[in-house]
């Protein structure tokens, strides 16, 4: 397919390619995204309300009712072909780093090493009082035992999952990702609607874009290549071409 060949050629020629991923890269691992028609989480829940800092502080029972199942589902999921190919491309020096909006940790499980988790992750929680850290399993054990919100063993204050909620400030990883793109000559975007702020500003910093996404995005018109196919299939196609031309 022509777009796959073109994308592979751009990757092969790039000096500083970075990947930017969103929820769409993980749907093939069984985790629903937000905006896919029919299956996206927005269809069943008001995520803006339920995944917000206000919900955590003022409606903790509802917050954990919605998010407990989601976190469990993500924690039990494994990386798919698209995550694995990105890790392989990083190992080969073709992709320098992955900036991800995802909290599911699947890039880490796939073997990527330079990862900027700009919306946090589901591996741990932090006490909002003393800053003590705990694992997500420890946090969830408290929730399962009826402690909502979960409380810190040291100081008794609420423990918040290390996820960036709506209304939260962006973490240092976001500024680091922003700076990383100063020298980026190709941004490979995989599985993102590119409408969530402030991440949707990141592609503006890079001249050359390759977009792999099932639905159109606001950046398609200025991308070098747009591949409207499933990310696993598209990334495996790109890997095959890179192998054929001796880059992998």
Active site residue ranges: 119
DSSP 111: T
Q: How far is the CB of 191 from ligand NAD (least distance, A)?
A: 4
Residue recorded with tokens 């880490």:
108
Short-list 199, 153, 158, 195, CA closest to 55 = 158
Per CB under 6 A, which of residues 198..227 are in contact with ligand NAD? 212-215
Angle between the N-to-C axes of helices 231-244 and 2-13, in degrees from 0 to 180, rounded to the nearest 10: 60
| Rg, the chain, Cα only | 19
Per CB under 6 A, which of residues 81..120 are in contact with ligand NAD? 101-104, 119
Interacting span for ligand NAD (CB under 6 A) from 12-20, 56-64, 178-186, 188-196 = 188-196
Q: How far is the CB of 232 from ligand NAD (least distance, A)?
A: 7
User: Would you count residue 3 as binding ligand NAD (CB under 6 A)?
Assistant: no
Please answer whether residues 44 and 32 qualify as being in contact, where contact means their C-beta atoms are separated by less than 8 angstroms.
no
User: Would you count residue 125 as binding ligand NAD (CB under 6 A)?
Assistant: no
User: Would you count residue 174 as binding ligand NAD (CB under 6 A)?
Assistant: no
Residue recorded with tokens 């990083």:
90
Q: How far is the CB of 164 from ligand NAD (least distance, A)?
A: 8
Q: Which residue is nearest to ligand NAD (CB)?
A: 24
Tokens linked to 136: 């997500």
Q: Among 14, 22, 86, 174, which residue sits at the site for ligand NAD (rule: CB under 6 A)?
A: 22
DSSP track, 131-186: --EEEHHHHHHHHHTT-SS-B-TTT-PBEEEEE--BTSPPPHHHHHHHHHGGG-SE
Coil/strand/helix, residue 40: coil
Q: How far is the CB of 143 from ligand NAD (least distance, A)?
A: 19
Interacting span for ligand NAD (CB under 6 A) from 11-19, 21-29, 145-153, 181-189 = 21-29
User: Which residues here bind ligand NAD, judged by CB under 6 A?
Assistant: 22-24, 26-28, 31, 33-36, 40-41, 101-104, 119, 191-193, 196, 212-215, 230-231
């Amino acid at each position: 397919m022509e777009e796959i060949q073109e994308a592979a050629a751009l990757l092969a020629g790039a000096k500083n390619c970075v990947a930017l991923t969103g929820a769409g890269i993980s749907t093939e691992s069984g985790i629903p995204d937000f905006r896919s028609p029919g299956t996206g989480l927005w269809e069943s829940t008001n995520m803006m309300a339920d995944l917000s800092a206000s919900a955590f502080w003022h409606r903790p029972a509802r917050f954990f009712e919605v998010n407990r199942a989601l976190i469990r589902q993500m924690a039990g999921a494994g990386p798919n072909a698209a995550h694995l190919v990105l890790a392989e491309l990083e190992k080969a020096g073709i992709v320098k780093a992955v900036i991800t909006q995802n909290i599911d940790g699947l890039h880490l499980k796939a073997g990527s090493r330079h990862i900027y988790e700009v919306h946090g992750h589901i591996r741990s929680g932090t006490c909002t009082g003393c800053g003590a850290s705990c694992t997500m399993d420890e946090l969830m054990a408290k929730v399962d035992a009826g402690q909502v919100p979960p409380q810190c063993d040291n100081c008794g204050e609420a423990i918040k999952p290390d996820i960036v909620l709506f209304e939260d400030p962006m973490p240092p990883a976001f500024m680091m990702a922003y700076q990383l793109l100063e020298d980026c000559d190709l941004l490979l975007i995989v599985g993102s609607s590119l409408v969530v702020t402030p991440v949707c500003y990141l592609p503006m910093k890079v001249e050359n874009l390759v977009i792999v996404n099932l639905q159109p995005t606001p950046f398609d018109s200025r991308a070098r290549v747009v591949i409207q196919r499933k990310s696993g299939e598209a990334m495996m196609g790109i890997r095959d071409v890179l192998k054929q031309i001796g880059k992998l």
